[in-house]
Amino acid sequence: MSESVGVRQAQAQRTRGAVLAAAAAVFVDQGVQAPIRDIAERAGVGVGTIYRNFPTRADLVTAVYRHQIDTCTALAPRLLEESASPFAALTCWADAFVEFLVTKHGLGAALGSGDPGLENLHALMLDTLVPACSTLLDACAAADELSLDITAYTLMRAIGNLSITGPDYDQADAKHMVATLLAGCRHTA
């Protein structure tokens, strides 16, 4: 009997993961107000399955972005371990952060919507991503690769501002400008 429960739990996790992946992709294409039926179709599930897992749109939006925030946060220590230098790790993380920001089409409107289910999303971003960025900046400072007067919050705000895309400014432009920003922050001997 416990094997059957384990199989059901594994299937539920796969379904939840498929819904989160589909929702993230649909949000990129259509924004967070995309029809739930489009998400269900992309995930290969019924609309009822989405509402069973995420009773409100705010629940779904929060789950998608929480997962993406957690992924971006976990990337920082891994990059520090795998990269040739702390500055290389910071550069890779900044690229991932730009991608995270650029693909959040409609999130700003959702955060300002007054939906109580979305109230904590901005705080979650700050509470998890700022310390991740701080870890990278501290490593860069210890390696004498970056100016000491740069704070994680300020850098992330600057990256955020450079990541606002529009008709004549896309993700590639944002990544280029962030790379230029980081090059300007780099401490050279």
The model's pTM? 0.79
How far apart are alpha carbons 172 and 189 in whole angstroms? 29
pLDDT for res 135: 97
- pLDDT of 154 > 90? The answer is yes
Over residues 30-57, the pLDDT tens digits come to 888 899 999 999 999 999 999 999 998 8
pLDDT for res 110: 60
pLDDT for res 19: 94
pLDDT band at 11 (very low <50, low <70, confident <90, very high): confident
Cα separation of the two ends of the chain: 65
> Are 32 and 12 within 8 A, CB to CB?
no
pLDDT band at 77 (very low <50, low <70, confident <90, very high): very high
- DSSP letter, residue 45: S
How far apart are alpha carbons 91 and 72 in whole angstroms? 13
